[in-house]
Structure 1
Amino acid sequence: MGFVDLLKERAKKSIKTIVLPETEDMRTLEATDKILKEGVAKIILIGNEEEINKKAAEGGFDISGATIVDPETSDKTQAYIDKFVELRAKKGMTPEKAKEILHTQYPY
């Protein structure tokens, strides 16, 4: 058994969740497809669900096992905005700036 196979077996024994915000990149969707097929982790994709599914279909990727969180519609977005403002208040973060960043820069 090779090193990569060993890592995959260990990952399957202790399933973790990976959050991937760069959903406009086809490599992210390809990786999601592979990870889900191999069953080594759970995946959360950040972005517009319709756009993500369309792009995945274009690439022939099955991402149906992934959870998709859209910052525009998520019920948790306001809590993230509040926490972001709290953490960055000394640097001038406002709720408006935080909302804009969270809706346009998914890695945050």
Structure 2
Amino acid sequence: MTAHVVQVTIDLDTLAATAGAATRGPWRWEQFRYGPPNLVGRAGEVGIYEHDREVIEASHTGGCGCRAECTLTLEISPEDRAYLETASPDVVLALIDRVTTAEAALKEAGQP
């Protein structure tokens, strides 16, 4: 089976800028007993005062206790939205391919 190769242009400066502006990782889904899950990351000063920060926060507009008849709203900061849009799967996979190729070239040249 032949793999289909897609050429992707990677703007590493934009990727680095949007990643630097986004909520620090690691990101994880946090499920509460009631309501939808939130995607949370880390905020605050590393090693001094760190805390969870919502990357995507789902809020429930109704008081009925049932999501079937209510509207859910997802809130995401402009910086995190830009990062998610910039770090699409094709970009991440192309970046991984680039790193793998560079590591192989270094190994072949006898460099660690």
Normalising by the residue count of structure 1, what TM-score does the alignment of the two structures yield? 0.29
Q: Which has the higher strand share?
A: 2
Q: Which has the higher helix share?
A: 1
Normalising by the residue count of structure 2, what TM-score does the alignment of the two structures yield? 0.29
